Amino acid sequence: MTALAQPLTEDTDPYVLPPTELAALLFDAPWRRYAVFGDSLSVGAGDATPGYADLGWPTRVERVLRMVRPDLEYLNTARVGATTAQALAEQGERIHDFAPDLLHVNSGANDIVRRELDWEQIEHGLRTMYRFAAATRAQIAVYTLGRAFVIPVFPDWGDRLRRLNDLTRTLAREFDAVLVDSEDHPLNDRPNLLSEDGIHFSTSGQAILATLMVRELAHRLA
């Protein structure tokens, strides 16, 4: 009789590196002022997963950066439900005044949660955000949305997500942003990935996102 597979934990998850190993990847990172801007993805919202620390990905990345730079300053202005335009209007001044040297920006998820979409307006809003971010002179970082993120009320949701992610990739290239492309990562296939709301990644997903972000930041430094 085959033994049942043990549930993954943070220590056994093949896609999660421990903080010390992540810090080693960023041992020479120059960043001392880390800011996070945007919506619930930037908040790191999600339900707890047994076996994983109850931390969102931004807090995990902050922890790693602080291990490398104990004098790190950190600001997270993100608000659950914010569109890109709302995030700029509500959070832009605080981000500007903070003067980050590493800035995570919005992925635009709430921009596509509406009955009718104006893609020209969506692109304009995101491009305005990237221009704002570039003006801070910080290294910009961004995620694409995972395909596990689904809003069933929209039958064309998959097309919306893919188009938004393509736009994110284009803007990331244009503005030299560090890009974590989570759309087709294997984490999307995990049965316990989503929180009870069926939208946000649980803390197991948050742990993976943090590892992916640190890896991409390290690649930028290589």
Q: Domain segments of the chain: what residues?
A: 29-221
Residue-wise pLDDT for 38-49, tens only, equals 999 999 999 999
Mean residue pLDDT of the chain comes to 95
- The β-bridge relationship of strands 139-143 and 178-180 is parallel
Cβ neighbours around 15 below 10 Å, total: 16
Higher-pLDDT residue of 191 and 131 is 131
Cβ neighbours around 44 below 10 Å, total: 23
Of the listed ranges 25-39, 59-73, 79-93, 189-203, the one predicted with least confidence: 189-203
Beta bridge partners of 143: 180
pLDDT, position 24: 98
Beta bridge partners of 104: 36, 141
Name every residue whose Cβ is closer than 8 Å to that of residue 167 and which is 6 or more positions away in sequence: 108, 122, 123, 126
Name every residue whose Cβ is closer than 8 Å to that of residue 165 and which is 6 or more positions away in sequence: 144, 145, 181, 183
Q: 29-221 is classed in which CATH architecture?
A: 3-Layer(aba) Sandwich (3.40)
Cβ neighbours around 73 below 10 Å, total: 15
